[in-house]
Homo-oligomer: A and B are copies of this chain.
């Protein structure tokens, strides 16, 4: 949900490739371009994807040139597409082909590094339209092009994501930013542990906030992201507005906000552990290793992530973590007492400062009347005590696992911040 969206829309994106429109590959280029162009304070009016069909590409390019100030076209360049895009552009812009020496030299360098001759099939990359600016590609073999017509600008980029991004950053972003009269600023507050409805109820009236910035709410099973964005004369003024609006949110829902922008929960946990010189160990049943996997996505995690146990079986819970088999008998493996003993056991066995444990029924099978699929206990233990909470999740197996891991990591964060309440 977006509460308002005031940006003026002058750009459009055109993605070319049969793989994309037949759903064979996920097109990540258009999301990247939409996001980046938006972040420059220029709105995207439409994103069009078409196959490797010259007449449809020609029609789309011609229409786009008539209505949009900026057109970014990606894909359909290079040998696997027989340079279909280049031939269409030559027609639309009335170009002749010329041989570009710099492209030739760059290609030779690329293949020299691989100890190979430039293959015949790649030679056509050196042929470029004579009435465009060449966007030299340090990240691959196909160069990009910049055409201009009646004051509108068309950029043509290869479809390989890292090459496309490289040329966007090198050539397009610097040019666009010069033509944007206002600066666009945005910040994302990442929350977890509260539903979208409850979150906005706690936030209360947003009328005054909306006068300052645009708000958007993006829910998923791992939490709600709040996007705050605004247009301002300068970057500094924009950031000041964001600071003010962010503070209003933090005052109202601070404990649910774990990070900003691209920050991951596991990185926040890692930062807190590092600051406090503390170590963490994990005891996972239903998540099967996902918590350890997430913790170790962060470079340097070996400094604070001590050890992990994937204790799927009762036997493993007993022999690795010293869980009393009688407690498992009396309460079942998915129970509060077992979760507590697992968290305490993993601290004792590993010597970690904090232990986190999860035990649950991920589904779709394994549930009973008393213990339904999705039932999960999550516990955190340290020298001051042990906290445990019960949840019943209703997603599918894979999402249940993801949600349990997220909640467990959030518990560790709250514990480290002194905000874990009974």
Contacts and interface: CB of A to CB of B under 8 A. Distances in A.
Number of copies: 2
Given A22-B34, A35-B24, A49-B46, A310 B297 contact: no
A362 B302 CA distance: 11
Contacts of A18: 2, 5
B21 A27 contact: no
Interface string A298-310: 0111100111111
Query: Could you tell me the dominant secondary structure of chain A's interface residues?
Result: mixed
A284 interface: yes
Interface stretch (A125-133, A137-145, A311-319): A311-319
5 contacts: A9-B51, A26-B31, A46-B49, A288-B292, A308-B308
Interface stretch (A36-44, A199-207, A231-239): A36-44
Contacts of A34: 20-23
Contacts of A332: none
> What are the 9 tightest A-B residue pairs by CB atom distance, in nearest-first order?
A288-B296, A23-B35, A289-B292, A289-B289, A308-B310, A23-B34, A47-B49, A289-B293, A290-B293
Interface residue range, chain A: 35 or more
A176 interface: no
A313 B307 CA distance: 7
Between A49, A218, A297, the greatest number of chain B beta carbons within 10 A of the residue's beta carbon is seen for A49
A299 B363 contact: yes
A21 to B, nearest CB: 5
A288 B294 CA distance: 8
A160 to B, nearest CB: 11
A48 to B, nearest CB: 5
Nearest to A23: B35
Contact of A218 (B24, B45, B284, B287): B24
A80 B215 CA distance: 13
A300 B365 contact: yes
Given A25-B218, A288-B305, A297-B397, 19 more contacts: A5-B51, A7-B22, A21-B34, A21-B45, A21-B46, A23-B30, A23-B36, A23-B38, A289-B289, A289-B290, A292-B292, A292-B293, A297-B401, A301-B312, A307-B311, A307-B312, A307-B313, A308-B312, A310-B310
Contact of A310 (B52, B292, B299): B292
A22 B49 contact: no
B296 A227 contact: no
A288 B301 contact: yes
Contacts of A44: 21-22, 51
A297 B7 CA distance: 42
Contacts of A287: 293, 296
A391 interface: no
A216 interface: yes
A343 interface: no
- Which of A20, A23, A51, A52 has the most C-beta atoms of chain B within 10 angstroms of its own C-beta? A23
B227 A24 contact: yes
Contacts of A282: 289, 310
A14 to B, nearest CB: 10
- With most chain B CB atoms within 10 A of its CB, the pick from A7, A34, A52 is A34
Contact of A296 (B9, B289, B292, B299): B289
A313 B302 contact: yes
A73 interface: no
